[in-house]
Amino acid sequence: MTTLPIRAALVLTLLFVAVTGLAFPAVVWAVGRVAFPEQAAGSLLRDADGRVVGSKLLGQNFSRPEYFHPRPSAAGAGYDAASSGGTNLGPTSDKLVHGILDDPRTKDVDESFLGFGDVAKRYREENGLAADAWIPADAATRSASGLDPDISPGNAELQLARVAKARGLDAGHVRRLVAAHTGERWLGLVGEPRVNVLELNLALDRAK
């Protein structure tokens, strides 16, 4: 009498393992590979030589003047995909606003942290802006993931003159490249317009 419920439980367990652990993942994998091959492979981007240089879903650091710069990052030492995360600092945090200096007593660890005021100052200096010039929030604040692949169109516009000058390109040509790599709101309602930094910088390299 007791063997029947045990047998039924074992059969159901094996059935659910087969369906949820094998069949369902296999179907999802197959549909993804067939219907969305690019996304299923990680939305990888390649340079002019066909080498994979990153994913359009993950931000990476660009600091040279001939490239558009991404949003500041607090992921690990910066843009570390293995250590994604924000600062976890509140809006009233003195460290967030003013930053801290490195402790000379710990030579193997760099505890320095730029406050968003210092980040904003550096951004203005890099782009030849006045000390009191308005800049968008994403130019001076770190995101929750530290790996944002996009910047706002306003951020890109403020960097445009620097990039065009460094590359010897016409500003109008660079502006057209920015427009070509600007994503709009989904269905015209959801999200905000955004510029993918890696895609744009690769397009600039191809345009030289």
Tell me the pLDDT tens digit for each residue of 43-102: 778 877 778 878 888 888 999 999 999 998 877 777 877 777 777 777 777 777 777 665
- Break the chain into its structural domains and give their ranges: 3-40, 44-207
Q: Can you point out the beta strands (E) in the chain?
A: 44-46, 52-55, 99-100, 113-114, 150-151, 182-183, 194-196
Query: Is residue 198's pLDDT more than 80?
Result: yes
Tokens 């604040």, residue located = 141
At 153-196, the pLDDT tens digits run 999 999 999 999 999 999 999 999 999 999 888 877 887 899 99
State the average pLDDT over residues 111-125: 82
Number of C-alpha atoms within 13 angstroms, CB side, residue 174? 24
Question: What's the pLDDT at 110?
Answer: 58
